Amino acid sequence: MRKIFGFIFLFLISFTNAQQLNCTVQINTDKVATTNAQLFKNMKTSISDFMNKTDWTGENLKQHEKINCSMVIIINSFEDNSFSASIQVQSTRPVFNSTYASPVFNYNDNDFAFRYTEFENLIFNPATFDSNLVSVLSFYSYMILGFDGDTYALYGGTKNFEIAQQILNTAQQSGYKGWNQGDSNQNRFFLVNDMLSGTFEPFRDTQYAYHRQGLDLMSDDVKMAKENVISAINLLSKLYSVRPNAFLTRVFFDAKADEIVSILSGGPTVSLSTMIDTLNRISPLNSSKWATIKI
């Protein structure tokens, strides 16, 4: 009998640790008038459980090893079980030997229409399209995992991007916006396809070099780490020379602009004039932030 209970206990521990995300979910209903607040509380619970209890990769992780991320879903309108919304997805990763969490992925998707029935079970199946809610949440789960993986190993997120692409391919026949090339030039289609395209490898090179050779060395040698951050950003110039104003370049700076200003403004002193020129060239939308960098 003890052996049976011991087996059950170990099974439950294994099951509990078989999730990879620590995701905070918010549902914002400021734009809609509703008398059923409980509906959105239950929606939040369903999505939170789905994100945090689904085993996305099969890896057993301790709580502190899970990826910290968040989803803010802003409801624009709804009727019966149909909802029109946007979703802001963010993730961070810890910097070695520090308490600092570096922003890795920060993306806003305005094409988020879905159906939701209160108390329904959300179940992930990568081979089928069950609902746009499940597909979008699953897609961004694997994008979070992919972006995170790229910061630890060169092209370390590939397998997760490939699953995200599989989800996209399955969802393309659903009729929902955001999955197809013709919907927009900056959407889920381009996000994952660009990540897997050889043309955009300089972006992924930057992700690895910026985090592993830059931020993660800050506790050992701040000046070298800072110089490596600069070298990593310069890798994006290769992408700029081929694809000016690339979608992924914007995605990078949406996550990193404030952090870059902080890193470059702090000590020790390194030559920054060329770097600031580069930043203004490849990310002119953030020129007001670059202007605050203390040379």
Whether 112 has a pLDDT exceeding 80, the answer reads yes
Residues written for the chain: 295
Phi/psi for 283 (5° steps) reads -140, 65
Q: Which residues pair with 148 in a beta bridge?
A: none
Amino acid of residue 31: K
Dump pLDDT digits (tens) for 23-51.
Answer: 999 999 999 988 789 999 999 999 999 99
Whether 17 has a pLDDT exceeding 80, the answer reads no
Residue 78: its H or E element: strand 67-79
- The overall average pLDDT reported for the chain is 92
Query: Residue 293 and residue 295: Cα distance in Å, rounded?
Result: 6
User: How crowded is residue 9: how many other Cβ atoms within 10 Å of its Cβ?
Assistant: 10
Whether 12 has a pLDDT exceeding 60, the answer reads no
Any idea of the CA torsion for 161, 167, 169, 175, to the nearest 10 degrees? -140
Angle in degrees, CA 270, 275, 280, rounded to 5: 145
Decide the pairing of beta strands 21-28 and 67-79.
parallel
Q: Residue 126 has what pLDDT?
A: 85
Q: Which two tokens stand for residue 287?
A: 């020129």
Q: Which two tokens stand for residue 177?
A: 């916006």
Alpha helices in the chain (DSSP H): 2-16, 37-53, 132-152, 158-171, 188-195, 201-208, 222-242, 247-265, 273-282, 287-290
Q: How far is residue 61 from each of residues 86, 142, 158, 294, measured CA to CA in Å?
A: 30, 16, 20, 40
- Kindly calculate the radius of gyration of the chain based on its CA atoms and give it in whole angstroms: 21
91 and 147 Cβ atoms separated by less than 8 Å: yes
Burial class (CB in 10 A: 0-12, 13-18, 19+), 52: middle
Residue 18: band (very low, low, confident or very high) from pLDDT cuts 50, 70, 90:
low
**What percent of the chain lies above the pLDDT cut of 90?**
85
User: How crowded is residue 291: how many other Cβ atoms within 10 Å of its Cβ?
Assistant: 10
Dump pLDDT digits (tens) for 148-163.
Answer: 999 999 999 999 999 9
Dump pLDDT digits (tens) for 186-200.
Answer: 999 999 999 999 999
